[in-house]
Amino acid sequence: LDVIKDRRLMQRFLNEIRKDSGLAIYGEEEVKNALTAGAVESLLISDALEKYRIKAKCKSCGYEINEVREKVDEIKCPTCNIPMEIVEKKDIVEEYAELAENSGAEVEIIGRESEEGEILYKAFGGIAAILRYKWNGG
């Protein structure tokens, strides 16, 4: 049943992309901006997505980073080349789900067992959205 729902949502997303209707977007920043603006109807997230928003600071020089990473082993300061202190680590799925909840968007976790689920993960980076209305990012 979930696979059928996943497939239906992904087919709708892919149709909007093909039609170039402006009602489908993908990519971390684009989707995050659309969520913040309240433009997202359905947030599509791959169940295989494992990324984290990391905030880290160098204890030596004070250099700071705020970026999305897949692996959070050790982050070295690009200036001092010493390990940085991780100040905050947030699962990106949680971050986007919170944004969706705050804007009234549906959160749909799409499994990779279907061809469409694999397409979401591999071709669209695991994060996509179907929009309520055309949105130009601004």
We report the CATH number of the domain holding residue 25 as: 3.30.1330.30
pTM here? 0.84
pLDDT value of position 19: 94
**Could you give the C-alpha distances from 135 to 37, 76, 101, 129, 130, in angstroms and in order?**
9, 38, 19, 12, 11
Position 94 in a domain: yes
Is residue 108 over pLDDT 60?
Answer: yes
Q: Is residue 56 part of a domain?
A: yes
Residues spanned by the domain of 77? 2-131
In 2-137, the DSSP E strands lie at: 24-26, 40-46, 52-57, 64-69, 85-91, 106-110, 127-131
Euclidean distance between CA atoms 68 and 58, whole angstroms: 17
Residue 40's identity, in one-letter code, is V
Let me know if residue 138 belongs to a domain: no
Q: Does 60 fall in a domain?
A: yes
Helices (H) and strands (E) in the chain, counts: 4, 7
Size (the chain), residues: 138
Domain total in the chain: 1
* Residue 136: inside a domain: no
Report whether pLDDT(90) > 80: yes
Please indicate, yes or no, if residue 85 is contained in any of the structural domains: yes
In 3D space, the residue among 35, 49, 14, 23 whose CA is nearest the CA of residue 127 turns out to be 49
Tokens of 95: 């971050």
Could you tell me which residue, 138 or 15, shows the higher pLDDT? Answer: 15
pLDDT of residue 1: 62
Q: Tell me if 110 is assigned to some domain.
A: yes
In a domain, 17, yes or no: yes
Residues 106, 83: Cα–Cα separation, whole Å: 39
The model's pLDDT over 24-58, given as tens digits with 9 standing for 90+, comes to 999 999 999 999 999 999 999 999 999 999 999 99
Predicted confidence band of residue 14 (pLDDT cuts 50, 70, 90): very high
